[in-house]
């Protein structure tokens, strides 16, 4: 712990420096530098706050120990000793929290601080699966709004009943990767479909892929590796449908990955969005190959992130949502579908931390 205390002391000094620098008018006017320093301040803040908590508890313990060493009546001494025990427990708790902060910083998934691209596809269940895919899309966008994250629709293939055969969107903001990293896999719904006249409960599914969105400098794609086609958009909605060749299809020749975007009126905007999705898919593929090649990759109990893995069931008759990876169940299905995912995601994070 001594080594970590020395690091914390340096971080606190840097924190104070950053506060002064961010108050400098020249840095305030330099948006790039200001953003860089503000991010650094945000990253080290949890460490500094815990360090200050620890120092405060240590001071309280020192003051109390001095008082216990002085002459006092027995009732006071008994009360003081009891408080000293409580402070020692508080100190150990803070030290454990500091250990976890360093563990998350040095190990685990370095991509959890990054933004993500989410792909949702209707699976087993036909039209009902597409409707469920739409429900999941709305759930994540509402969860993003709750967390002050920014969402952007990149590509969609809507159906007449309000769902999606496929929908791809990005989510940007602080903590996005950390909280959404466990959502990849197969999500099942059990309910009476809108398309079912006899009132029977059906099971349908949708698959979710959560992809890290890399910066352009992280992954170089050579133009010669791409085949780009344009065509007229088709599908539900939009006055530009079947009017101009604004839709774009990009094929990555060496991997065979194909991305299509047609939601925008502008061919350039569709191309830019398609490139973002392609870059994220390529990085995901590279990471999967790397993980497969490693003989001792960590096997987390919260799941591998495999698209085929059944991870969660949304049961309407019982108002129940169950995450099968950790055996965690809540009975507030309506709230979950309205974006109240905190309880489930916090349980997943806690379970994953125990496996570190």
How confident is the prediction for the chain on average, in pLDDT? 84
C-alpha to C-alpha distance for 349 and 177, rounded to whole angstroms: 12
Mean of the pLDDT values across residues 32-47?
88
Q: What is the CATH number of domain 218-293?
A: 3.30.160.20
Same fold, 111-214+304-354 and 218-293: no
Q: What is the CATH number of domain 111-214+304-354?
A: 3.30.70.1660
The tens digit of pLDDT for each residue in 15-26 reads 999 999 999 999
Dihedral, CA of residue 66, residue 69, residue 70 and residue 72, to nearest 10: 110
Please check whether residue 169 is in contact with residue 137, taking contact to mean a CB–CB distance below 8 angstroms: yes
C-alpha to C-alpha distance for 347 and 343, rounded to whole angstroms: 6
Q: How far is CA 313 from the centre of its chain?
A: 20
Reduced to 3 states (helix: H, G, I; strand: E, B; else coil), residue 280 is helix
Dihedral, CA of residue 9, residue 12, residue 14 and residue 17, to nearest 10: -130
Question: What's the longest Cα–Cα distance across the chain?
Answer: 92
The tens digit of pLDDT for each residue in 208-242 reads 999 988 766 567 788 888 899 988 876 654 444 55
Residue 315 neighbours by CB under 8 Å, 6+ apart? 189, 190, 191, 321, 322, 333
C-alpha to C-alpha distance for 154 and 262, rounded to whole angstroms: 9
Sequence spans of domains, the chain: 2-106, 111-214+304-354, 218-293
C-alpha to C-alpha distance for 251 and 261, rounded to whole angstroms: 12
Please check whether residue 196 is in contact with residue 204, taking contact to mean a CB–CB distance below 8 angstroms: no
C-alpha to C-alpha distance for 352 and 356, rounded to whole angstroms: 7
Position 195 confidence tier, pLDDT thresholds 50, 70, 90: low
The tens digit of pLDDT for each residue in 123-136 reads 887 888 999 999 99
- Of the two residues 1 and 342, the one the predictor is more confident about is 342
In the prediction, which pLDDT does 299 show?
Answer: 45
Q: Does residue 346 have a pLDDT over 70?
A: yes
In degrees and rounded to multiples of 5, residue 65 shows phi and psi of: -60, -40
The H-assigned helical ranges of 117-266 are 127-146, 176-180
Q: What is the CATH number of domain 2-106?
A: 1.20.58
């Amino acid at each position: 712990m001594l080594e970590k205390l020395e690091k914390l002391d340096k971080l606190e000094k840097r924190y104070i420096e950053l506060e002064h620098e961010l108050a400098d008018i020249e840095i305030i006017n330099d948006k790039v530098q200001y953003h860089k320093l503000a991010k650094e301040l945000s990253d080290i803040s949890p460490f500094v706050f815990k360090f200050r908590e620890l120092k405060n508890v240590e001071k309280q313990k020192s003051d109390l120990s001095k008082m216990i060493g002085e002459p006092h009546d027995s009732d006071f001494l008994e009360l003081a000793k009891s408080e000293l025990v409580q402070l020692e427990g508080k100190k150990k708790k803070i030290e454990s929290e500091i250990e976890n902060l360093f563990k998350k910083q040095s190990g685990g998934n370095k991509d959890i601080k990054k933004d993500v691209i989410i792909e949702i596809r209707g699976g087993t269940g036909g039209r009902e699966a597409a409707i469920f895919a739409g429900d999941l899309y709305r759930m994540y966008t509402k969860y993003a709004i709750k967390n002050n994250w920014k969402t952007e629709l990149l590509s969609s293939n809507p159906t007449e009943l309000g769902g999606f055969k496929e929908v791809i969107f990005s989510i940007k903001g602080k903590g996005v990767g950390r909280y959404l990293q466990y959502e990849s896999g197969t999500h099942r719904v059990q309910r009476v479909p809108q398309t079912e006249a006899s009132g029977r409960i059906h099971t349908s599914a949708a698959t979710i892929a959560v992809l890290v969105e890399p910066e352009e400098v992280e992954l170089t794609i050579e133009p010669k590796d791409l085949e780009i086609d344009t065509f007229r958009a088709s599908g539900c909605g939009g006055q530009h449908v079947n009017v101009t060749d604004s839709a774009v299809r990009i094929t990555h020749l060496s991997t065979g990955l194909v991305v299509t975007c047609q939601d925008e009126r502008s061919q350039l905007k569709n191309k830019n969005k398609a490139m973002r999705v392609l870059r994220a898919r390529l990085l995901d593929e590279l990471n999967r190959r790397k993980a497969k090649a490693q003989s001792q990759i960590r096997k987390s109990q919260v799941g591998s992130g495999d698209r085929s893995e059944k991870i969660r069931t949304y049961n309407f008759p019982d108002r129940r949502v169950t995450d099968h990876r950790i055996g965690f169940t809540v009975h507030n299905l309506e709230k979950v579908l309205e974006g109240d995912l905190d309880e489930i995601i916090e349980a997943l994070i806690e379970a994953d931390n125990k496996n570190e």
